[in-house]
Each structure stands twice: as C-alpha cells, then as structure tokens.
Structure 1
C-alpha cells in the first residue's frame, strides 16, 4: 500500500512539482495539498494521511502548526522542509516533527526520510535516528557545528566524510564505514569540494586541518 501524503507549501508550482516527484516512484500517493497552516490542519483532520510534508516557512506554519497537529491529527507524521541553520529545528522536533529534510537535500534523502519515518524512526537532515532523544542529541551536535567550526554549511554526513578523507580512507572504505555506496560518497565529495572551494582530496584534508573541521575525539564514522 502506498504512503498517503499531504504536501503543505505556499507556492503552487512547488506543490505540483513535489507531487510529480513523490508519485514517480510508485510508493507514494499525494492525497491532498495545502497552502497555509490552517488548511493543513483541516486537511490532516479530514484525510488522516500517513505523512505531512510541510514547508517550515509556510504562512501560519512553523512550531505552532506542529503543536496544533499534535492534538488535531495525532496519528499523522510531520516531515519538515527547512533551511540549513534554522534555529527552530530542535524546537520543531520537541513539538512533534518526525523528520527534517533540508531544501538543498537530494531526492534520495527525501525518499529515505519517508521510508524511515514510516518505520517508526526519525529522519534528521541526512540520516536516521532511532527516537526523539537521539534526534535531539544529534540536532544539538549539528547546531554546535554550524555555530562553531563548521562555517561552510557542511551537513553531518559531509563532516563525517571530510574526517574520513583526512584519515586517508578511499571512497570504498568510506562507503563501508558509513554504510553507503561509493557513488553516494562521490556525490557528497563533489558537494563538499564546491562548498569549501577545493579540487582534490589532499586539498580537502589540508583545508579541514587549517580551518579546524576535525575536532579532537570526533570519529569519522559518527558512531
């Protein structure tokens, strides 16, 4: 049975694009659309979707919307589309969000978030978390990185790969340590190179050391 999903975004063209994308895999059925928080709550009550995909910046949305949903449609699992560095993400998790997907994430990350949340776990930016306490702990780590050494908008997964490259790991070894494919590692490395402005693994390792992106005691695997 496909995942029943409602898309909540204030821009019609984005809602339409998300519907086409989500239904292209054949495992998701978009059962409704909403353009603001009030419509979202009403629609959630009426159709009781499995997942609500919500733009955190939507009018009448945000934390108050999540709190309303927690009482009006308790069985619905909200996943937020958010901007990197948004200071309200930790509060959003406490208010009932089951997943957070950055707007610059890959399509694969979006689909992974749906599957993970449907399995009863949480999705935090680029990886799963078993429960709310783990998600909140990792969000705290993300925020410390964003406000401290990580000034280059690197995600948690990208920071793990930077650390692994600095350790001298090959793409294959990184993939094995992080349980992802070599192609996924290559994709992350391409994004990292673009963000920090380097052109080789050696330059990346030197850049990470120079800019303090390898804090002592931070394992490359994130375990």
Structure 2
C-alpha cells in the first residue's frame, strides 16, 4: 500500500485527484492539505509517502526537497499547463503531472514514482493545445452568460444553495441550469464539471473572469448598501 499526501489550494481539483487515486487499491490517501505549511507538517507526520503537490502553492523548495529526503518520501509536482515540466525535475522532484493531464496519466505517474522511477509527460502539451483550446472555445461559446456564472461558482466550490443566494434565484432554477450545462459539456456531476473546466484553459480563463466580475458586483453592492444605510441614518437624524 502506497501512502499519498495531496496538497493543492484548489479544493475541487484536490477532490478530483483523490477520486482518481482512491479507485486504485494500491494507493491510500493519508492527508489532504490546502497550503504549503500544512503540507510540510503532513510530510513530517507521515514519512515514506508520495507527496503530490501543486506548483501554485509556491512552496519553499529549498525547505521541501531536504524534508522529503529526510523522511524518505518522494515529490510529484502538479504543474500549471503553461509551465515547463523539466524545470521541476531539475529541482530534484521525481515526477511532474500537468493540470490538463488525464486520470490515467496521473495514475501512471504515481506508479512510476512509487517504483523508484521518474516520470514526465510523454511530450509537452504544446502540440495538444490547439485541439484542447478548440474544445474550450466551443463549450464556452455554447454556454449562456447565466450558465457561465454558475460554472464560475461551481469551480469556486459553491453548493447549489450558495449559488442561488449569490445569483438571487432559487435552488430549483440552479438545478435546471445545471442539467443544461451537463448536457453541453458532456459531464455527469459538479465535480466532473469543475475538472472539465480546469482542464480547458480557455474555459478556465472565462470562468475565472466571470468569477472576478461576480465578486466585484457583490463588493459594489455591499458598499452601495452601506452608503444607503448611512444616508438613511443622516436623513432620520436631520428630521
């Protein structure tokens, strides 16, 4: 049984990675971490493990590498799609998997590293990018603005009730929209939807942009509400 530590700030991606690995009887996930410091603590607590961590955590590699060696553990980096995988191998990590890699590639990578080997993507994803971008573009263009707002909040890890509250509608309406979104993307649940979105750069960027706009609208609404209350208070005081 190979012990696995997962570390990624994106909860939905971390859940997807755990789901893929948990399906294999040879892997046992013993810790999940949302930041670099928690990961460091887990590495110390659970030696002889395979540590799969996202480059986005911005861990201190000068601390991480010696720590892994001291507890006889091995590191696998989840690199962003725009990054060069070989740069992490040069830092001494044993494997690199990219965000847009398949579940099968992830399992193969972990198996190789568990066996004491190293693993890199068979080729850089540059040649695949146009096809993947076309998929992302096609799905992005098929989604309505309301559907894209729901996708953006799904990627953030929001549940239906929270999405309904933030978009000022009902849970039933959100469920109806989700059925349409699932049909357009070819997925069967919210986890697959989030992973599908993150795996396609164009769609992920669109969702991130919409998510930022939603947060800006909410901030502006809160500020406006505060100003309105203040004006009402002044008006009452004046009268």
- TM-score, normalised with respect to structure 1: 0.52
User: Unpaired segments of 5 or more residues in structure 1?
Assistant: 128-141, 143-151, 155-190, 198-223
Q: How far apart are residue 194 of structure 1 and its match?
A: 2.1
Higher helix share: 2
Report if aligned partners of 1:9, 1:35 keep a CA contact under 8 Å in 2.
Answer: yes
User: Unpaired segments of 5 or more residues in structure 2?
Assistant: 135-239
Report if aligned partners of 1:56, 1:62 keep a CA contact under 8 Å in 2.
Answer: no
Report if aligned partners of 1:84, 1:153 keep a CA contact under 8 Å in 2.
Answer: no
Q: How far apart are residue 84 of structure 1 and its match?
A: 3.0
Pair 1:100 & 2:96 matched: yes
Distance 1:118 1:193, change over 3 A: same
Aligned residue among 54, 59, 67 for 1:69? 67
Pair 1:84 & 2:81 matched: yes
Q: How does 1:124-163 map to 2 (within 5 A)?
A: 124-126=120-122, 153-154=126-127
Pair 1:119 & 2:115 matched: yes
Q: How far apart are residue 78 of structure 1 and its match?
A: 0.5
**CA RMSD in angstroms, aligned pairs only:** 2.6
- TM-score, normalised with respect to structure 2: 0.49
**Aligned partners of 2:114 and 2:55: how far apart in 1?**
20
Deviations 1:3-52 (A, max 9, x none): 11000011223222222221112221100111111111111111114200
Distance 1:104 1:65, change over 3 A: farther
Larger radius of gyration: 2
Large movers: runs of 4+ above 4 Å: none
**Aligned partners of 2:131 and 2:90: how far apart in 1?**
33
**Aligned partners of 1:110 and 1:7: how far apart in 2?**
13
| Number of residue pairs matched by the alignment | 134
Distance 1:50 1:126, change over 3 A: farther
Report if aligned partners of 2:112, 2:118 keep a CA contact under 8 Å in 1.
Answer: yes
Q: Tell me which residue corresponds to 1:22.
A: 21
**Aligned partners of 2:88 and 2:51: how far apart in 1?**
14
